[in-house]
Amino acid sequence: QQQVKQSPQSLIVQKGGISIINCAYENTAFDYFPWYQQFPGKGPALLIAIRPDVSEKKEGRFTISFNKSAKQFSLHIMDSQPGDSATYFCAAPRPDSWGKLQFGAGTQVVVTP
Amino acid sequence: NAGVTQTPKFQVLKTGQSMTLQCAQDMNHNSMYWYRQDPGMGLRLIYYSASEGTTDKGEVPNGYNVSRLNKREFSLRLESAAPSQTSVYFCASRGMSSYNEQFFGPGTRLTVL
């Protein structure tokens, strides 16, 4: 049973456009919400994460926003580039353990030239 | 510094055969994880080890066993493989200084016929 719901499953965006991925969680042990990026044939790698008491974090073209009351958080990729084509996973700590993450189902992003 | 390494990269088994997936990390991390990745399911935790000598079941532990051989190594064993265990398996590790960031290996693609 997926405790973190991620949408959309896939999206296609033109180069220079904005990619938006949304996640909703049910319960979490701690307000820490990471996003992982995975290229084909590789393991996931941490892209960006937001920590407690912060509602938004920006790193370059990537921004996370967090709405605690709605239990939702999202990833925005500004000025999308073909090199951003990958699968993105959101995650949240499991209710029973800060050290265990529950992952969303993933979003495959394709950026067309 | 190789990070997290996994062997083998690919494996084909027949139903009922057994095998062990190996994982090692050279980052002096305490916590290690085994996940499976299936299309549309994200990453699901199989087993978790918070430190040497301890293991804990995750979301989908049935049909698997683990051994935390030492601080570096965490192996996953399939005693009697089933077609439902066809998946990509990822090992990950986490250290105290990395604020809950998990570092993933390159994965093992397992097919059970």
Burial status of residue A40 (CB atoms within 10 A of its CB: 0-12, 13-18, 19 or more): exposed
DSSP letter assigned to residue B97:
G
User: Where is pLDDT greater, at B100 or A58?
Assistant: A58
Tens-digit pLDDT profile for residues B21-57: 999 999 999 999 999 999 888 999 999 999 998 999 9
What's the length of chain B?
A: 113
E strands in chain A: 4-7, 10-14, 19-25, 33-38, 45-50, 56-59, 62-67, 72-77, 86-94, 97-103, 107-112
Tens-digit pLDDT profile for residues A12-44: 999 999 999 999 998 887 888 999 999 999 999
Tens-digit pLDDT profile for residues B74-86: 999 999 999 999 9
B24: tokens are: 């090692």
- Confidence bin at A99 (pLDDT 50/70/90): confident
**Mean confidence (pLDDT) of chain B:** 94
AA letter at A17: G
CB contact, 8 Å: B31 with chain A? yes
Residue numbers in B near A97 (CB within 8 A): 48
Query: Does the pLDDT of residue A52 top 80, yes or no?
Result: no
Residue numbers in B near A32 (CB within 8 A): 99-100
- Cβ–Cβ contacts within 10 Å for residue A111, how many? 20
